Structure 1
Amino acid sequence: MLFIKFSLSLIIFLIAFLAGIIPLCLTMNHLFFKKSEAFVCGIFLGAAFFHLLPDATHLFQLTQRPYSHTATIFIMSSSLVLFAGFTQIGKTYQLNKRLFPWFIFGILTFHSIITGLALGFVHVTNMLYILFFAIVAHKAFDSFTLLIILKKYQFTFKRIFYLLTFFSLMTPLGILLGAFAFHSLNGIAANMLTAAFSAFAAGSFIYIATAEGPIIPWILHPKTLPISELIFLILGLSCMAILAFWV
C-alpha cells in the first residue's frame, strides 16, 4: 500500500507541475487574461460551494458537534479577509496588493497538504483511487489558477518556477506524512482540523472570486457585462460542479 501511495504521489506531482506550465507557455494578452480570470473565479466559487463547505459540514457532523460551526468559521474568515482588504489605504493598501498572491499561495498550499493527508490516511483500495482522481482534478485546476494569479502580479519566471515546484510537492508530502502518521491522530481531531480549514478556505475563496475578480464590476456596471467572460465564469463553476458528482 505504501508503494502505491508513493506512486500516486509522483503522478500528482507531475500533473500539478504540467498544469501550472500551461499559463507560462501562453501569451497573456488582455482579452485572454480577462477570460482566464473569469474562469478562475468560477473555479473558486465552485470549490467553495460544491466542495469545501459541504465537506466541512459533513466532517463537523462526524465529530458529534454542532455543524453550524462551519457557517461561523466561514463568516468569520470572510469578514476578516474583507476587513483586511478594504480598510487599508495608501501604502498599506499597496502592500496588501503585493501580499495578495502570497495569501493565495499560502491558502492553496495548506489546502494541498490537507488533501494529501486525507489520501494518506485512507487504507481502502477503492476509496484510495476515488480520492486520487478527485485530487488530481483539483490539483490541476489549482496549479492553473495559481499560475494565472502569479502572472497577473508579474512574478519573475524564476520565482514562478520555484513556487510551482514547491506547490506541486505539497500534496505528495501530505500523502506521505499521512501514510506514516495516520495512527497518531484520533478520528475526531483529524476531522475537526480538516473541517475548520475547509470552512475558512471557503470564505476566503468566495472573497477572492468576488472582490478580486470581475464579479463586483459586473454588479456595479451590468450594462458592460462581457458575455464571453460570463461564459468562462460559468465554465469554471461547471467544472467544479462536475467534480462534485465524482466524489
Structure 2
Amino acid sequence: MTLALALSCLAIVAVSLLGGLLPLITTLTHTRLQLYLSFAAGTMLGAAFFHMMPEAVALGSAGTLRWAAAGLTALFLLERFFSFHQHEAPNPAEPHDHGHDHGHHHQANRGRVESPTLNWAAAAIGLAVHSLIGGVALASAVVADFETKSTFGAASWGVLLATIVHKPADALTVISLMLRARTTPAKAHLVNFGFSLMIPIGVALFLIGVLLLDAPRSGIVTASALAFSAGTFLCIALSDLLPELHFHSHDRTKLSVAFLLGLGLMFLSSFGESEHTHSPIDHEDHGHVLPADDH
C-alpha cells in the first residue's frame, strides 16, 4: 500500500509541474481550456459517484454519505473566501465573447488585476488547502481498497486518474496569476513545486492519523474521509461546469462530448469494483460487530 501511494504521489507531482509549464510551451485559448476542464470535471464527477461514494458506503454505512455534504460545503466556503478556483487562458488568443452581458464578471477581473499579488497569494493558499484535501482523498481511497479488497483497486485508480487529469489546471492557475503579477518565472515555478507537494503531504497526514487510531475506529475515519472527499470532488467539478453552462452555445456539442467522455471513462472503470455485501467495520447504528470472514 505504501509503495502504491508513493508512486501515485510521484505521478501527481509530475503532472502538476507539467501543468506549470503550459503557459510557456503552448497557447491555451479559452475554448481549449473549457474542453479540457469539461473532460476533467466529468472524471471528477465520475470518481465521486462511481468510485468514492460506493466505496465509502461499503466500508462504512449509508449514513457515511452525510460527510459528502460536509465536504462540498467546506470547499464551497473555501472558494467563496479565497476565490482560488479560477481557470482562464493565460494568454488568450481568441476573443472571449459569450454573446451575453456579464460585465460584472469582467469588472471583478479588472479589480483583481489591480491587486495581482493578493490574487495569486490567496489562490495559492486556497489551492494548497484544496490539495491537502486531495491527498486525503487519494489516501482514503487506497486505504479503503486495501481494507476491502487487499489491493490497489478500481476506486484507487479512479481517484488517482481524476486527480492527475485535474491537477495541471490548478498548477496553471498558480503560474498564470503569478506571471500576471510580474513575478519572475523562477519564483513562480518554485511556488508551483511547493504547491505540487501538498497532495503527498495530505497523504502522509492521513496515514499518520489512521495509524494513531485503533482498527475499528480507523475504518470509520477512512469511510468518512472518503465520503467527505467525494463531496469536494463534486464541488470542484460543478464549479468548473456551471459558470460556463449557458455561455458556449457555439461549442455546446464539443464541451458536452468532452464531459461525457470523462464521465464515461469513470463509469467504465467502475466495472472493476467488486460488490461488498458486508461492511468490515463496526457499525454503531447496528449495535453489533459483524463476524469476520473466517468465522
Task: State the TM-score, normalized to the length of structure 2.
Answer: 0.60
Aligned equivalent of 2:292: none
Secondary structure in 2 aligned to 1:233? helix
Structure 1 or 2: more helix by fraction:
1
2:255 corresponds in structure 1 to: 229
Deviation at 1:39, TM superposition (A): 1.5
Aligned to 2:105: none
From 163, 174, 180, give the equivalent of 1:142.
163
Checking the alignment, whether the CA contact within 8 Å between 1:120 and 1:177 is kept in structure 2 is no
Partner of residue 64, structure 1? none
Q: Determine if the alignment matches structure 1 residue 108 to structure 2 residue 134.
A: yes
Distance change >3 Å, CA 6–CA 216, structure 1 → 2: closer
Q: 2:232 — aligned with what?
A: 204
TM-score (norm 1): 0.70
Residue 69 of structure 2, aligned match among 62, 70, 75: 75
Q: Distance in 1 between matches of 2:169 and 2:263?
A: 17
Deviations 1:29-69 (A, max 9, x none): 123322221122112211211122212222233xxxxx235
| Residue type of the alignment partner of 1:195 | A
Asked whether the 8 Å contact 1:82–1:207 carries over to 2, the reply is yes
- C-alpha RMSD over aligned residues: 3.9
Who is 1:17 aligned against?
Answer: 13
For 1:175 and 1:120, the matched residues in 2 are separated by: 15
Matched-pair contact (CA < 8 Å) for 1:44–1:205: yes
Give the counterpart letter for 1:135 in structure 2: S
Q: Is the 8 A contact 2:136 2:229 kept in 1?
A: no
Is 1:35 the counterpart of 2:38? The answer is no
Question: Relative contact order, CA 8 A, sep 6+: which one is greater?
Answer: 1
- Between the aligned partners of 1:195 and 1:6, the Cα distance in structure 2 is 19
For structure 1, the 5+ residue unaligned runs are: 62-66
C-alpha separation in 2, matches of 1:77 and 1:200 = 4
> Quick one: structure 1 residues 231 and 99, their matched pair in 2 at CA, closer, same or farther if it must change by over 3 Å?
farther
For 2:156 and 2:233, the matched residues in 1 are separated by: 18
Larger radius of gyration: 2
Q: Give the structure 2 partner of residue 161 of structure 1.
A: 193
The farther-off stretch of 222-231 and 232-241 is 222-231
Q: Flag as ranges the 4+ runs of structure 1 deviating above 6 A.
A: 87-91
Between the aligned residues of both structures, percent identity stands at 16
* 2:214 aligned counterpart, secondary structure: coil
Number of positions where the alignment pairs a residue of Structure 1 with one of Structure 2: 226
CA contact (8 A) 1:17 1:165 kept: yes
Gaps of 5+ in 2: 84-107, 112-118, 179-187, 274-295
Residue 215, structure 1, aligned to residue 209, structure 2: no
